């Protein structure tokens, strides 16, 4: 009944918005709207000798972005595409005689996605280039992520007034122990794993030695992989790039050219003239071109459905209990989706694409159980994106084979619990708390006082049990003795490159590699259709969920705002969830790895 009412109300909200839109466009505006709608339905055409254009400011996600109300109201017009849309377009274009070149257009902004995703795009670009087709790159200013892609180009062009960043990788972290103490917010911790440092932003004012070691080694791995890719296509050596990073950091355009990082310094109108020549468009205002989105529309094969289907389940976001909000992996929702996949007889195999830092240990186990049941009926493999750590790795143990990029961040096999209390806040504001109870531990959930030693022992036992279960899951999946798993666990984070060496993954490769593995295993001869799960949710449903929050519009105190801000800055999880579920046990990344 609740779901029915939600769907009915969501439909009502959508209809109401539609009516508002209708009346707002009445009269001449309505006619213009319908004309624009008709024109927008025209299928794009691909002219001969065209260039495929990839805008580097594109927002890239694994799955189709779910429609949030905030995005609907935003004036931001940055294009959004899925990773597979981009790689599919580039791979198709490599075999399309109508496509002469590929233009990496950095005139509108820079790349923001993770390096593992970029590595998959780079593989598609390598395939395009191997077909003898030119790749032309242009940037106004260039960051290291941009250069990770553009370094493969036949021509790397930079605006004469631009600059280039080449200063290595760093990851900074905010610490709030002193701030929490200042405002009287108490915190107790239960955890397992000496590298499980997700709690450290709340308990320390700097990196612990263990956290500093693992972060340093992870960054070194990622930087080494970065350099390996760069020197494949440029007349440079690793030592030369490190020398630039150590002694220059930021290069002006002419310096970048002198050091052979870029080929030419030209303005955008000049690069357009260059592309007009390549596409034989000399008599036109611009060069013949087609965007990735339009190219996919022009090659739409959605009407050629196959009876053989491979499902891709996108596990993207923090793992939480229940339905979860937009951009979260809610266990209830995903359990239902996995059951749909298992029941669909046309689905012959499953790829679980994980791009998650982890989250609730219980939610991870519930999702894993459904994947294990599915794996008994259909081949199931794992494809790791930028991050597949902690709860994300817990889920990955369901796969018969695990694929990851060298740049993937994974591992973090550890568990922790956070126990906030507001005893000092209440005392300082003249508020007291008293309890009447029937048994010793009846008020275990009381957040108005610290936990006793006996209570902490109970919670620590739960954390230990979850950690032991985590080790068992990894041991069974990776055919590895538990003592060996314990050596590489301890909450430690690994790059995909290192994860392959220690046996946490099976193969370096992206989403396409996992699909090809299943294609060969099932002998489908490429006669299959890819179907995506879960179905994207809409802003109407999000609005309904927001309206149903009884605390919406509550005026927060300065201290509450501080706590909320601290948590949002440090983890994908919600502090509200922590406070409402004080005994929840989490398996999540040590902290947000903002690598720059």
Alpha-carbon gap, residue 47 to 471, rounded angstroms: 56
Per the CB < 8 A criterion, the answer to whether 190 and 444 are in contact is no
Q: Residue 198 pLDDT more than 80?
A: no
Average pLDDT over residues 323-351: 93
Give 378-395 pLDDT, tens digit per residue. 999 999 999 999 999 999
Q: Residue 5 pLDDT more than 70?
A: no
Which CATH number, 3.30.70.20, 3.30.420.40, 3.40.50.720, 3.90.226.10, labels domain 46-167+248-298? 3.90.226.10
Per CATH, 46-167+248-298 and 309-588 having the same topology is answered: yes
User: How many Cα atoms sit within 13 Å of 86 on the Cβ side?
Assistant: 31
Asked which of 172-181, 231-240, 264-273, 297-306 is least confident by mean pLDDT, the reply is 297-306
Q: Which among 465, 592, 583, 590 has a CA at the least distance from the CA of 188? A: 583
CB atoms within 10 A of CB 590: 32
Give me the catalytic one of 61, 281, 383, 390.
390
Alpha-carbon gap, residue 592 to 596, rounded angstroms: 12
CB atoms within 10 A of CB 124: 23
Alpha-carbon gap, residue 442 to 435, rounded angstroms: 10
Give alpha helix (H) positions in 134-186: 144-150, 177-182
What SS3 class is residue 381? strand
Average pLDDT over residues 123-131: 96
> 561 falls in which pLDDT band (50, 70, 90)?
low
Q: Residue 99 pLDDT more than 80?
A: yes
Percentage with pLDDT > 70 across the chain:
79
The pLDDT value given to residue 106: 93
Alpha-carbon gap, residue 83 to 296, rounded angstroms: 13
The pLDDT value given to residue 176: 81
Q: Name the average pLDDT for the chain.
A: 83
Per the CB < 8 A criterion, the answer to whether 450 and 188 are in contact is yes
Structural Rg of the chain based on CA atoms:
26
Between residues 271 and 200, which one has the greater pLDDT? 271
Alpha-carbon gap, residue 508 to 420, rounded angstroms: 41
Average pLDDT over residues 481-499: 92
Give me the catalytic one of 133, 196, 257, 309.
196
Alpha-carbon gap, residue 160 to 146, rounded angstroms: 17
Q: Residue 230 pLDDT more than 90?
A: yes
What SS3 class is residue 380? strand
Q: What are the structural domain ranges in the chain? A: 46-167+248-298, 309-588
Q: Residue 533 pLDDT more than 90?
A: yes
User: Is-catalytic flag, 327?
Assistant: no
CA 64-135-133 angle, to 5 degrees, is 105
Alpha-carbon gap, residue 564 to 573, rounded angstroms: 11
> 535 falls in which pLDDT band (50, 70, 90)?
confident
Q: Which among 132, 133, 130, 163 has a CA at the least distance from the CA of 147? A: 163
Percentage with pLDDT > 90 across the chain:
54
User: Is-catalytic flag, 196?
Assistant: yes
> 427 falls in which pLDDT band (50, 70, 90)?
confident
Alpha-carbon gap, residue 149 to 141, rounded angstroms: 14
User: How many Cα atoms sit within 13 Å of 109 on the Cβ side?
Assistant: 10
What SS3 class is residue 303? coil
Strand order in the sheet with 155-158: 264-265, 155-158, 134-139, 99-106, 50-55, 289-291
Alpha-carbon gap, residue 285 to 296, rounded angstroms: 24
* CA torsion angle 57 60 64 65 (round to 10): -70
Q: Residue 37 pLDDT more than 60?
A: no
* CA torsion angle 13 16 21 23 (round to 10): -170
Give 279-317 pLDDT, tens digit per residue. 999 877 889 999 999 999 888 765 556 789 999 999 999
Q: Which CATH class is domain 309-588?
A: alpha beta
Query: H helices then E strands: how many in the chain?
Result: 24, 24
């Amino acid at each position: 009944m609740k779901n029915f009412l939600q769907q009915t109300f969501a439909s009502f909200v959508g209809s109401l918005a539609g009516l508002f839109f209708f009346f707002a466009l009445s009269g001449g505006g309505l006619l213009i709207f319908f004309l624009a709608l008709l024109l927008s339905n025209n299928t794009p055409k691909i002219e001969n000798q065209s260039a495929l254009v990839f805008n580097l400011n594109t927002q890239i996600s694994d799955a189709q972005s779910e429609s949030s109300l905030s995005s609907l109201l935003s004036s931001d017009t940055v294009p959004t595409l899925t990773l597979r849309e981009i790689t599919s377009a580039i791979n198709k274009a490599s075999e399309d005689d109508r496509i002469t070149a590929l233009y990496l257009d950095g005139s509108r902004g820079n790349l923001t996605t993770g390096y593992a995703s970029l590595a998959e795009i780079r593989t598609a670009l390598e395939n395009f280039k191997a077909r003898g087709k030119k790749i032309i790159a242009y940037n106004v200013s260039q960051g290291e992520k941009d250069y990770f892609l553009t370094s493969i180009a036949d021509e790397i062009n930079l605006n004469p007034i631009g600059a280039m960043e080449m200063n290595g990788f760093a990851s900074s972290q905010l610490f709030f122990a002193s701030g929490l103490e200042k405002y009287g917010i108490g915190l107790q911790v239960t955890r397992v794993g000496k590298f499980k440092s997700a709690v450290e932003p709340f308990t320390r004012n700097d990196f612990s030695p263990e956290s500093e070691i693992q972060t340093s080694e992870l960054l070194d791995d990622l930087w080494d992989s970065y350099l390996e890719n760069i020197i494949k296509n440029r007349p440079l050596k690793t030592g030369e790039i490190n020398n630039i990073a150590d002694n220059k950091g930021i290069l002006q355009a002419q310096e970048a050219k002198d050091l052979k990082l870029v080929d030419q310094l030209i303005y955008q109108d000049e690069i357009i003239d260059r592309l007009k020549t390549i596409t034989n468009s000399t008599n036109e205002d611009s060069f013949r071109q087609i965007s990735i989105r339009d190219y996919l529309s022009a090659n739409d094969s959605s009407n050629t459905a196959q009876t053989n289907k491979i499902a891709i389940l996108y596990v993207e976001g923090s793992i939480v209990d229940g339905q979860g909000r937009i951009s979260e992996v809610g266990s209830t929702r995903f359990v239902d989706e996995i059951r749909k996949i298992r029941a669909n007889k046309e689905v012959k195999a499953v790829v679980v694409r994980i791009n998650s830092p982890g989250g609730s240990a219980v939610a991870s186990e519930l999702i894993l159980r459904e994947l294990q049941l599915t794996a008994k009926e259909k081949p199931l493999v794992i494809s790791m994106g930028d991050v597949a750590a902690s709860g994300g790795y817990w889920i990955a143990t369901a796969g018969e084979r695990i694929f990851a990029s060298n740049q993937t961040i994974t591992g973090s096999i550890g568990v922790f619990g956070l126990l906030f209390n507001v005893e000092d806040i209440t005392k300082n504001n003249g508020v007291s708390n008293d309890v009447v109870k029937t048994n010793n531990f009846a008020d275990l959930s009381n957040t108005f006082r610290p936990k006793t030693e006996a209570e902490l022992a109970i919670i620590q036992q739960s954390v230990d049990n979850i950690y032991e279960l985590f080790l068992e899951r990894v041991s069974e999946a990776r055919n590895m003795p538990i003592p060996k798993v314990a050596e590489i666990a301890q909450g430690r984070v690994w790059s995909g490159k290192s994860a392959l060496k220690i046996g946490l993954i099976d193969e370096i490769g992206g989403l396409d590699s996992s699909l090809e593995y299943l294609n060969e295993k099932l002998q489908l001869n490429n006669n299959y259709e890819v179907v995506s799960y879960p179905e994207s949710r809409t802003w109407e449903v999000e609005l309904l969920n927001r309206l149903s929050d009884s605390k919406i519009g509550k005026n927060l105190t300065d201290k509450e705002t501080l706590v909320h801000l601290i948590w949002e800055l440090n983890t994908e999880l919600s502090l509200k969830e922590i406070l409402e579920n004080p005994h929840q046990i989490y398996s999540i990344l040590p902290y947000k790895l903002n690598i720059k």
